Structure formats: structure tokens, C-alpha cells
Chain A
Amino acid sequence: MNHLPEAWGRPRNDVYGTYDASYLQSSMPNQHTQSPIVTGTSVVALKFNGGVVIAADNLASYGSLARFTNVERLKQVGTHTVVGAGGDISDMQYLHEKLLDSLIIKEEYQNDGHHLRASHIYRYLSKVLYQRRCKFDPLWNTLLVAGWDDGKPFLASADLLGTTFSAPALATGFGAHLAVPLLRRVCPDEAAVENITREQAVDTIEECMKVLFYRDARSLSKYSLAIITGKDVEGAAECEAKNQSWKFAEGIRGYGTQVV
């Protein structure tokens, strides 16, 4: 028996002939992510007077296949921050479960009365994303960071290129096309935020999630919604798009039975 570690688990030479070691070395260059594989779609968020609402559905698609229908894409980080991710799910899991978890653990272990707030976490994430794109190995995500920071609601976006921007109403992915116009009707600019109530904001986000479910073929009616206020983070998993009406679809060519 060959006891050398490199032979462990390999077919026996005396039975199967010499093992072809060339399988062990890859002659190919390192492969970086060229495109996302399992993906999440939009994240939508809106500031209101006293906080931020953020929502993302629970679907992880494998191409056009609705592969996983119970994926949580919102993550609470620290006490007053929620990070929502669209794009590659495995990269999101790396961000959520490796980077952000250890970031918060390291911060809290210091036990010195200092805590990372939304703007700090946002800067950290955008630097990570930018560093990875500079290695030509991007984390294929678009992130929304929502939180309560310095007595104000905080909402900003960072993507796989390291692009950063902030607005009182934001959406990623398909939502950037479909939800943002709806959100801006309610909240055209930063000044409008103080006139938006919490109920209004939640209604608007729910409406956006419904419209996205209507028109985004990679979306799900089941979604998670979080409300961040100065007090805490209220999370509501397993929300369902309410009051659906597919009447509009009848007029769409290609929907239902084909006539003509």
C-alpha cells in the first residue's frame, strides 16, 4: 500500500496503472468570476421621516430557473444597519457571512463603546468591492446599505465596480428601471424625506415589490422587508405581494393563450 499523502484516495497503481499526475496541475490560468451564476434580483429601499425601509425578494435564480425560493438577501449588520444584496448569491454569502460577520465580531470584541454605523459599514463594503474589481476578480453584487446614522436615515449604493452613490430612494438591478420611477414619485429629492411617513414608505416599497413581481421574470412574490429606525431594526421575513391583479397581462401579446 502506498502510504504517501499524495497517493491518498487515488486508484492503486498495481490495479489501475500509474496515476496521471497531470490531472493535479491545472495548465489553465486562474479563473476569476466572469459572470454571476446563481443570482438575486432587485433590492429596493426608501428613506422616510425617522428611518429607512428596505426590501428584497427571497429568490435565487439559476439562469432563468427559479432555483432557490427561500434565500434571505437582507442582512442586519450591527444594531442599526441592513445590507441588501443583488447579483451573485455566493458572493453575497461571502460578504454577509464571512466579511460582515467577522467585521462586527472584531468591532464588538473591543468592547470600548464604539460601534460601526451604516456609513462606516458602507465605506468598508465599497472599499472591498473596489479592491476586488482592481484584482480583476469582482464580487458580482450591487449592494444597498440602509441604516440609522448620526440621528439621520442613511441609504447608499455600492456595486461590483466600486461605484458609490447615495439617494433617498434607491433600487438595484431590474428595480433600478422599474421601481426607482415609482419611488421618486413619492420622494423626488432629499427634502421630500421629512414629509414621508413610515406607513407611506412601507406602502410604496410594497407597491414596488408587487410591480417588480409583475414585470421582472426573475422575481418572486415572497420577499423580506426591514424597517430601520433610530430605535432598532424591525425585520419582516416572508412578506407576500398583496392585492395582485394580473388583469393588465391580458393585453400583453405572448401572455396566456395566443390569439392571431
Chain B
Amino acid sequence: MFRNNYDNDSVTFSPQGRIFQVEYALEAIKQGSVAVGLVSKTHAVLVALKRNAEELGSYQKKIIGIDTHLGVALAGLAPDARVLSNFMRQQSMSSRLLYNRPVPISRVVNAIANKAQVNTQHYGRRPYGVGLLVAGVDETGPHLWEFQPSGMVLEYKGAAIGARSQSARTYLERAFEEFVDSNREELVLHGLKALRDSLAQDKELTTANTTVSVVGIGENFKLYDGDEVGEWLEKLGNVQSSRGGRTGEEAVESMDTSE
């Protein structure tokens, strides 16, 4: 009757030592559209590709501001991300109220990691179906963390999650050494280039589907959405994937001729 006897709940190991419900939760991340994060010495940037389920509907929010020094990008089940981001906002508020201190990034990330881990060890619960990229600045500088429903969190120089994120990761792996000394604008453009590389061949970045956020040392978390993204796309130039059929240069030429 069952194809797999070991995936009914998240507390049972398979004989191979796997917990299938947790692995399925990780699959849920890959169903979501791509989100990219990267850090320099001074800034942390999140960029993401928004999807609209249907032509008449609005685009799914991909980046959520948590506090003036902190924000998350999500891939996977948006309602789960809302629960986690609300929790992070509470943590952030209580840190400010009780200690007059913006919550350290690693602490708030560990707090949600603990919540996620509990779900993998209690019968009748399910893991979160969402992956997060957490970008923020605290006293120890800018940080980027990846959160997974397994309860795993890791700090990155550049990371990408969601559908087709491997292409974005390929770009990040190629360019990450430049990130450290990038300025604000260069870092965002690196992020957008990674994002653009993950696009399907007939897709392009637009003000409707692209969202950008930046936070820096001494600079509040800023979310660019809708028309505000336009300035970044102009700086980026080519808004189509530079991989595959057409090269970057060709794409620029075709844009020129169309004008």
C-alpha cells in the first residue's frame, strides 16, 4: 500500500538513516522561486525573484523586513515563513526592550533553528516547509545565514535557495572573491547577476518580479520593490540569463536594436 513505510512522520528513521519528512521539507524549498544573498565587508544584500500564481494575481512577497538591521528572503511555503518571521520580529523586539540592543544575527538565526529542530523530533508535528536567507548587520559586522527546515543553519559569503538556484550558485562561486571589497552598488549588481543567471531562457528580470534589499553598517534595512527596482535593473543592463543560448553581449545588442 505504501511506497515508503518510513515517511509517515518526522520521528522515524529509515533503515538507511534518513528522515524522509525532513527531506521532503527540503524539497519544498526547491518548489519556491529563487532567492540570493551575499555579503561584503560593509553590506549584506538579498535579491529574489517573485512569482505570481496567475496573471490577475499579485506577486508573492519574497523578502520580509524583520528589523532595521535585519531581513529575510524566503523560498518555499510562504505561510511558514510568515510564522518564522513573526517570531524573529518578536525576538528582535524583546532584545531591544530588555537589553536596548538590536538582536545579534546569529542569535535570532539559532532561535529559529531550535524551533525547526523541535519539529523534526516530535510525533504529530511537521517540519517547516520553507528555507530562509537571513541577512543582517550587528556589532560583529554584516552576516548572511541560510536556514533549513531540518534545523540546519550555516553562515555564507553568498548563498542561493529555491528553484534553479544552482545556476545562481554557480555565478556566486565564480565571483565570491570580489564580494568582500565590493561597495553597496557592486554587491547588489552581483546579486542581480546571480539572480538573472537562474532565469529560464524566455524569462527576464522586471520591476514586477524582482525584489532587492540592502542593509549595511550604519545603514538601515532597505527594501526595493516595484518601481524602485527600476534603477537597479537599469544599472544591471542585461536582464536575461547570460547562460545558455544567448551570450550577454548578444543580449545587450538585441536590446539596443529594439530601441
Residues of A at under 8 Å CB distance from B? Answer: 110, 112-114, 116, 119-120, 122-124, 127
- Specify the chain B residue showing the minimal Cβ separation from A114: B104
- Specify the chain B residue showing the minimal Cβ separation from A113: B140
Check A119–B100 contact: CB distance below 8 A: yes
Known: A112-B140, A116-B101, A119-B100. 10 other contacts (CB 8 A): A112-B104, A114-B104, A114-B107, A114-B139, A116-B99, A120-B99, A120-B101, A124-B99, A127-B97, A127-B98
Contacting residues, chain A, for B97 (C-beta < 8 A) = 127
In the assembled complex, how far is the CB of residue A16 from the closest CB belonging to chain B, in whole angstroms? 53
- Tell me what chain B mostly uses at the interface: helix, strand, loop, or mixed: mixed
Residues 90-115 of B, flagged 1 when their CB comes within 8 A of A and 0 if not, give 00000001111100101100000000
- Tell me what chain A mostly uses at the interface: helix, strand, loop, or mixed: helix
B204 at the interface (CB under 8 A from A): no
- Can you identify 19 A-B contacts, CB atoms within 8 angstroms? A110-B107, A112-B104, A112-B106, A112-B107, A112-B140, A113-B139, A113-B140, A114-B104, A114-B106, A114-B107, A116-B99, A116-B101, A119-B101, A120-B100, A123-B98, A123-B99, A124-B98, A127-B97, A127-B98
B7 at the interface (CB under 8 A from A): no
Q: Give Cα A124–Cα B100 distance, bound, in whole angstroms.
A: 8
Most chain A CB within 10 A, of B99, B101, B106, B139, is at: B99
In the assembled complex, how far is the CB of residue A55 from the closest CB belonging to chain B, in whole angstroms? 26
In the assembled complex, how far is the CB of residue B156 from the closest CB belonging to chain A, in whole angstroms? 16
- Specify the chain A residue showing the minimal Cβ separation from B106: A112
B186 at the interface (CB under 8 A from A): no
Q: Give Cα A148–Cα B237 distance, bound, in whole angstroms.
A: 49
Contacting residues, chain B, for A123 (C-beta < 8 A) = 98-101
Check B98–A114 contact: CB distance below 8 A: no
In the assembled complex, how far is the CB of residue B90 from the closest CB belonging to chain A, in whole angstroms? 16
Contacting residues, chain B, for A113 (C-beta < 8 A) = 139-140
Contacting residues, chain B, for A119 (C-beta < 8 A) = 100-101
Residues 117-144 of B, flagged 1 when their CB comes within 8 A of A and 0 if not, give 0000000000000000000001110000
Residues of B at under 8 Å CB distance from A? Answer: 97-101, 104, 106-107, 138-140
- Specify the chain B residue showing the minimal Cβ separation from A116: B99
- Specify the chain A residue showing the minimal Cβ separation from B139: A114
Q: Give Cα A24–Cα B100 distance, bound, in whole angstroms.
A: 45
Contacting residues, chain A, for B104 (C-beta < 8 A) = 112, 114
Q: Give Cα A130–Cα B208 distance, bound, in whole angstroms.
A: 49
- Specify the chain A residue showing the minimal Cβ separation from B141: A113
In the assembled complex, how far is the CB of residue B221 from the closest CB belonging to chain A, in whole angstroms? 19
Most chain A CB within 10 A, of B97, B100, B106, B140, is at: B100
- Specify the chain A residue showing the minimal Cβ separation from B96: A123
In the assembled complex, how far is the CB of residue B163 from the closest CB belonging to chain A, in whole angstroms? 33
- Specify the chain B residue showing the minimal Cβ separation from A123: B100
Contacting residues, chain A, for B106 (C-beta < 8 A) = 112, 114
Contacting residues, chain A, for B100 (C-beta < 8 A) = 119-120, 122-123
In the assembled complex, how far is the CB of residue B63 from the closest CB belonging to chain A, in whole angstroms? 25
Contacting residues, chain B, for A112 (C-beta < 8 A) = 104, 106-107, 140
Most chain A CB within 10 A, of B97, B101, B138, is at: B101
Q: Give Cα A127–Cα B98 distance, bound, in whole angstroms.
A: 7
Contacting residues, chain B, for A114 (C-beta < 8 A) = 104, 106-107, 138-140
- Specify the chain A residue showing the minimal Cβ separation from B140: A113
- Specify the chain B residue showing the minimal Cβ separation from A120: B99
Q: Give Cα A133–Cα B104 distance, bound, in whole angstroms.
A: 30
Contacting residues, chain B, for A122 (C-beta < 8 A) = 100
In the assembled complex, how far is the CB of residue B30 from the closest CB belonging to chain A, in whole angstroms? 30
- Specify the chain B residue showing the minimal Cβ separation from A126: B100
Contacting residues, chain A, for B99 (C-beta < 8 A) = 116, 120, 123-124
Q: Give Cα A51–Cα B98 distance, bound, in whole angstroms.
A: 25
Q: Give Cα A112–Cα B104 distance, bound, in whole angstroms.
A: 9
In the assembled complex, how far is the CB of residue A123 from the closest CB belonging to chain B, in whole angstroms? 4
- Specify the chain A residue showing the minimal Cβ separation from B104: A114
In the assembled complex, how far is the CB of residue A135 from the closest CB belonging to chain B, in whole angstroms? 17
Most chain B CB within 10 A, of A113, A114, A116, A119, is at: A114
In the assembled complex, how far is the CB of residue B70 from the closest CB belonging to chain A, in whole angstroms? 14
Q: Give Cα A123–Cα B106 distance, bound, in whole angstroms.
A: 22
Q: Give Cα A113–Cα B106 distance, bound, in whole angstroms.
A: 10
Q: Give Cα A123–Cα B96 distance, bound, in whole angstroms.
A: 9
In the assembled complex, how far is the CB of residue A229 from the closest CB belonging to chain B, in whole angstroms? 20
- Specify the chain B residue showing the minimal Cβ separation from A150: B139
Q: Give Cα A112–Cα B139 distance, bound, in whole angstroms.
A: 11
- Specify the chain B residue showing the minimal Cβ separation from A117: B101
Q: Give Cα A124–Cα B99 distance, bound, in whole angstroms.
A: 5
Q: Give Cα A119–Cα B99 distance, bound, in whole angstroms.
A: 8
The 7 closest A-B pairs by CB, nearest first: A123-B100, A120-B99, A114-B104, A113-B140, A112-B106, A120-B101, A119-B100
